[in-house]
Amino acid sequence: MSEIYQEMAWIVVVGLVATAVMDAISLLRVHVFGERAMDWALVGRWLGHVLRGQLVLTNPATAGQVPYERALGWLFHYGVGLALAALMWAILGGETLQRPQLVPIVGFGAATVVLPMLTMQPGLGMGMAARKLPAPWAARARSLVTHLSFGFGLYLGAVMATAALR
């Protein structure tokens, strides 16, 4: 396999594994701690409204529905996971492919928490970093746990992809 295809395969495996691990841990948190699951249909609804020029939904639950909003939300979710795996590859370099290292990879995953805090949360009417929610620090902590689990998934995916592509 040529080097560019190997890098692309690595990014796809890592991005998909990381996002799936994040989703699995989120599902576990729903069942163990009773946390609410992310409603990807609302994210799809928000994206649909963004494409129509409305960047913020004051109340996404009552906003007009968008065709295929749940599918759009899930595709966006996994697309972002792939894009972040590619960004990690670009930032951490080819060494990440050769010998995945836990701390920088999980650290990268944790740092990605700023993305939803600056985009998705305001767009869904929660304000920047969930400041409009009744318990913003609890929401921020849940977001950080979610993105730490994404970081762990990035590491697990990197180990798996590196072993598979040798």
What pLDDT tens digit does each residue of the chain (166 aa) get? Answer: 688 898 999 999 999 999 999 999 999 999 999 999 999 999 999 999 999 999 999 999 999 999 999 999 999 999 999 999 999 999 998 777 679 999 999 999 999 999 999 999 999 999 999 999 999 999 999 999 999 999 999 999 999 999 987 7
Which of the 8 DSSP states describes residue 96? H
Nearest to 35, CA basis, from 43, 45, 27, 44? 27
- Domain range list for the chain: 3-40+72-164
Nearest to 90, CA basis, from 15, 166, 30? 15
- pLDDT recorded at residue 1: 67
